[in-house]
Amino acid sequence: MKSMMKSALNLRGLTLVLFAFCLSLAGCTPPPDITSKPDPKGGIGVKEAPVLASLVQSGKLPALASRLPLDPLVIKPVERPGEYGGVWHLMVDNPDLSVYKMIGGYAPLVRWRSDCLGLEPGTAKSWEYNAEGNQLTLHLRHGLKWSDGVEYTSADFAYWAKLTLEKKQLKTRPFWSLVKGQDMVVETPDKYTLVLKFAGANWYVAQHLATGYWNSDDYNMPKHYLEQFDPLVNPKYKDYSIFDKKNSFQLNPDRPTLTPWKLSKIEEGGYKITLDRNPYYYMTDTLGRQLPYIDQIIAAYTPDAQVRVLKILSGAVDAQFRLVDLRDYSLYKAGEKSGGYRVLRWKEANGSDPSLMLNWDVEDPSTRELIRDLRFRQALSLAVDRDKCNQVAWRGLGVPKQGTVSRESWHFQSAEGKKVFNTWAKSYAEFDLKHANALLDDMGMTKRDSENFRLRKDGQRLSILFDIPPAGISSAQTDIALVVTEGWRQLGMEVILKNWPSAEYTLRQKLAKYTVSLQAQAEMDLFTYPDWVFPTSDNYWHSKVGKWYKTGGKEGEAPTGIMKELLAIYAKIIDEKDIEKAHKLVQEAVKLHTEKGLFSIGTVGELPQIVIAKSNFRNVPSKPQIMGPWAPAGPATSYPETFFYSSRPEDNPTLQTAQSANQTARAAGGHRP
């Protein structure tokens, strides 16, 4: 075990040495050119980007006043109003552009605030529920337009809602639209009003509408464009295959969007994706100047993690909000000057990365009996050396703790909420092998075999199969698995590590085929994503019970004991109008986790998320913002529409260096070539 861990760390160390060597070479060469600059004509005295103003002047685009809604969403920049222009170079690791969409794919009816403590207006300027909570009315912005200039109306949302009932295509009604087994009803009294009706109280629909880029990406359907490929409208098409391709934001440059930048072209075999500004975007700054400030985004498909590091160190990336490995933090800091960037520490808002999931529904009866015994789960938790996990995997940058959701979650911001959370985070989180061994003794597993492994009550060796992902997916998780295994073996337990291919690893979790597995644990809003605390879906530690809940009892395994208690609490939450009372119900469920849970055992959490931003790339909050978890957070909620390139000399250290060198040369009577 020690040799395996040493080898893993040596490999990581060798990689960093090579990176450092590359960095030293970069330091010996002239600093890289600034990859993007503001438009000389794009100062704060103009109301729109010069590239758009020229199109207006030539008659190819309507005037700004007719492109904006009557009541645009007004955003106050973090630092100051920005200059127009420039190209933002960033990296993505998947053709679905999910990393980009977390920046520029968020155009919901209702938005999460950047602190994730509430909601704010989006494409809808306001909304309200009726007294019973079974009807939500949303008021759209008058004159808000798709990127092709066609007005966005309530008919677009209604088109999506109707389409989800069409069985011949892939889209289905989302779970939040179903109450008491009945579909929601969508009404459009006029083109600026949406009314969503339900069979019972559904107080958290607005949160669902705001969650993630994927929900709004789903329901924001340009009816005027997509109907021409809809077989129910155009008999030319016999199925929805062409429709689905045309509806793909990341594949079809012709598809209208409501987002700040839209796809314009895909080049170099898919390795270069260009997105141009949306001339009809609905946000302005406080001076009435249309956003976004930046003209264009070029996303480089970069699946190799080491290549991503080199791109950042060489200055080829203007700003990167994900795919920046925390374990390379010191390397990035050392490269700030030569790369012309700054390193910011935002919040990942994770409860544990990773947590050790114990399969509540494991198929083997003897193993199931063990896992459902609280003493066994407590013993496993006490045998985890979290300080060592933190040092080995995360360079000491995290917080050793029990598995929880996010500390920043709005459920735990009251004095009582903070107390409940702290108790949860500390429960059985100390490293205490003596106590852990005593718990296993108390369970009757005092006998040992010839190799000093404990014997279960049935006489079989105490053995656990531990699933770990491919090292290439997460070397940090592999390192932590090795530390955990070392502690568990000191309990007299045989631990069999099994490294599965990525797809099979994920499938084993989904089908509850594992005994122990790894998963990063975090969540800001348990009303809309309850799975880490409540067994409401076939995820994580409760696959079969969650399947039962998800299918209304048709599949899976019926809940008993604590699972039944947790689902009863969640049922109360769904019907609770008072938000503070709903938060207290969440806290009640967390107390059950603290007293009877440990379904997922934490290791290290509250890790920072590294953000890279060029020195002249401004309006990026330096105060730590919440980057994750993905669902309600950012960086889209921090308004990247306001990011811009500064022409100020103090924001351009590479220019300052060159100017200083020129001045020195002139003073010496010479000149720089």
**537 shares a domain with 390:** yes
In a domain, 48, yes or no: yes
Task: Determine contact, residues 65/597, Cβ cutoff 8 Å.
Answer: no
631: part of which helix (H) or strand (E)?
none
| Highest mean pLDDT out of 472-486, 531-545, 652-666 | 531-545
Q: Are residues 325 and 402 in the same domain?
A: no
The dihedral through the CA atoms of 9, 13, 19, 23 has a sign that is positive
Q: How confident is the model at residue 650 (pLDDT cuts 50, 70, 90)?
A: confident
Domain assignment present for residue 98? The answer is no
**Residue 517 phi/psi, 5° resolution?**
-145, 175
Quickly state the pLDDT bin for 377 (edges 50, 70, 90). Answer: very high
The SS3 assignment for 669 reads: coil
For residue 480, what pLDDT band results from cuts at 50, 70 and 90?
Answer: very high
Give Cβ neighbours of residue 489 (< 8 Å, ≥ 6 apart).
1, 495
Q: What is the pLDDT of residue 473?
A: 66
Q: Which whole number is the average pLDDT over 350-371?
A: 94
Residue 472 confidence (pLDDT) above 70? no
Helix (H) or strand (E) holding 180: none
Instruction: Give the CATH number, domain containing residue 44.
Output: 3.40.190
CA 566 to chain centre: 26
User: Side-chain half-sphere of 366: how many Cα atoms within 13 Å?
Assistant: 11
Residues 149 and 171 in one domain: yes
The answer to whether position 13 is within a domain reads no
Residues 129 and 273 in one domain: no
**446 in a structural domain:** yes
Summarize the confidence of residues 376-405 as an average pLDDT: 97
CA distance 346 to 471: 26
List 21's β-bridge partners, or say none. Answer: none
Answer yes or no: is pLDDT of 30 > 80: no
Q: In terms of domains, do 504 and 365 share one?
A: yes
pLDDT at position 415, please?
97
What gap in Å lies between CA 144 and CA 272, rounded to an integer? 30
Computed over every residue of the chain, the mean pLDDT equals 91
CA atoms within 13 A on the CB side of 565: 12
First to last CA, the chain: 58
Residue 54 lies in a domain: yes
pTM metric for this prediction: 0.89
Tell me: pLDDT of 658 over 70. Answer: no
Q: Taking 60 as the threshold, does the pLDDT of residue 32 lie above it?
A: no
| Domain span including residue 481 | 352-605
Q: How confident is the model at residue 655 (pLDDT cuts 50, 70, 90)?
A: low
Does any domain span residue 536? yes
Residue 345, helix vs strand vs coil: strand
Cα angle at 476 between 384 and 7, to 5 degrees? 90
The domain that contains 167 carries what CATH number? Answer: 3.90.76.10
In 325-347, which positions are buried (b, 16+ CB within 10 angstroms) versus exposed (e)?
A: bbbbbebbebbeebbbbbbbebb
**What does DSSP assign to residue 228?**
G
Q: What is the pLDDT of residue 662?
A: 43
Establish if 114 belongs to a structural domain: yes
421 pLDDT exceeds 70?
yes
Whether residues 478 and 521 fall in one domain: yes
| CB contact at 8 A, 50 and 258 | no
- Cα separation values, 373 from 429, 438, 455, 484, 668, Å: 18, 14, 16, 20, 80
Q: How crowded is residue 465: how many other Cβ atoms within 10 Å of its Cβ?
A: 17
Of 155-159, 372-376, 549-553, 651-655, where does mean pLDDT reach its minimum? 651-655
Q: Mean per-residue pLDDT for 644-650?
A: 94
User: Per-residue pLDDT tens for 235-244?
Assistant: 999 999 999 9
Average of per-residue pLDDT across 360-370:
94
* pLDDT value of position 2: 47
CB 75: neighbour CB atoms within 10 A?
Answer: 15
* Nearest residue to 651 via CA among 622, 617, 612: 617
- The CATH number that applies at residue 418 is 3.10.105.10
Residue 491 reports pLDDT greater than 70: yes
Q: Does the structure show a pLDDT above 60 at 25?
A: no
Separation between Cα atoms, residue 611 and residue 26, nearest integer Å: 21
For residues 318 and 402, state if they share a domain. Answer: no
What's the pLDDT at 506?
Answer: 87
Whether residue 51 is found in the same domain as residue 125: no
Residue 15 lies in a domain: no
Going by C-alpha positions, the residue among 67, 99, 81, 74 that lies closest to residue 38 is: 81
Percent of the chain with pLDDT strictly greater than 90: 82
**pLDDT value at position 632?**
82
- Higher-confidence position of 604 and 501: 604
Confidence category of residue 628, pLDDT binned at 50, 70, 90:
confident
Q: How far is Cα 515 from Cα 361, in angstroms, rounded to an integer?
A: 9
603-620 pLDDT per residue, tens? 999 999 999 999 999 999
CA dist 229 → 160, 216, 261, 615 (Å): 14, 21, 24, 46
State residue 654's pLDDT score. 58
Helices (H), 624-668: 653-667
User: CB count, 10 Å around CB of 434?
Assistant: 7
Residues 367 and 393 in one domain: yes
Helices marked H in 62-220 — which ranges?
64-67, 98-104, 154-163, 205-210, 212-219
Tokens (6 digits) for 249 = 């934001």
Helix count (H) and strand count (E) of the chain? 23, 26
Q: Highest mean pLDDT range out of 438-442, 625-629, 659-663?
A: 438-442
Ranking 3-7, 28-32, 287-291 by mean pLDDT, the lowest is 28-32
CA distances from 360 to 290, 365, 485, 494, 599 (A): 52, 11, 20, 20, 7
d(CA 114, CA 642) in angstroms, rounded, equals 14
Q: Cβ(67)–Cβ(149) under 8 Å?
A: yes
Question: Could you give phi then psi for residue 409, rounded to 5 degrees?
Answer: -55, 140
Q: Look at 141-155, 331-345, 426-440, 496-510 and tell me which has the smallest mean pLDDT.
A: 496-510
Q: Which carries the bigger pLDDT value, residue 632 or residue 256? A: 256
pLDDT at site 311: 95
Q: Are strands 73-75 and 283-285 parallel, antiparallel or unpaired?
A: parallel
Question: Please, are residues 377 and 598 in contact by the beta-carbon 8 Å criterion?
Answer: yes
Dist. CA 62–CA 179, nearest whole Å: 44
Residue 301, beta-bridge partner list: 92
Q: SS3 of 477, please?
A: helix
Q: What tens digit of pLDDT does each residue of 64-87 get?
A: 999 999 999 999 999 999 999 999
How sure is the predictor about 46, in pLDDT bands with cuts at 50, 70 and 90?
A: very high
What does the alpha-carbon distance between residue 38 and residue 295 come to, in Å, rounded to a whole number? Answer: 9
Name residues whose C-beta falls within 8 Å of residue 120's C-beta, 6 or more positions apart in sequence. Answer: 110, 111, 112, 113
Judgement on whether residues 128 and 49 belong to the same structural domain of the protein: no
- Beta pairing, strands 463-468 & 494-499: parallel
Look at 18-22, 43-47, 445-449 and tell me which has the smallest mean pLDDT.
18-22
Assess whether pLDDT exceeds 60 at residue 254. yes
Can you tell me the mean pLDDT for 134-143?
98
Cα dist from 125 to 130, 137, 206, 217, 280, whole Å = 17, 11, 13, 19, 17
Q: Rounded CA gap, 576 and 561, in Å?
A: 23
Q: Which of the four pLDDT bands, split at 50, 70 and 90, describes residue 228?
A: very high
What's the domain count of the chain? 3
Q: Are residues 494 and 541 in the same domain?
A: yes
Q: Any bridge partners for residue 91, and if so which?
A: 300
Q: For residue 232, how many other CB atoms are within 10 A of its CB?
A: 14
For residue 100, pLDDT over 70 is answered with: yes
Residues 499, 363 share a domain: yes
Q: CA of 243: how far to CAs of 147, 195, 239, 252, 464, in Å?
A: 19, 27, 8, 11, 48
pLDDT band at 205 (very low <50, low <70, confident <90, very high): very high
Q: For the beta carbon of residue 63, count every other beta carbon within 10 angstroms.
A: 11
Structure letter (DSSP) for residue 70: S
Phi (first) and psi of residue 307, to 5 degrees:
-65, -35
- Residue 181 has which token pair? 């087994």
- Beta-strand ranges (E) seen in 168-321 are 178-179, 182-183, 185-190, 193-197, 261-267, 272-277, 283-285, 296-301, 319-320
pLDDT reported for residue 173:
87
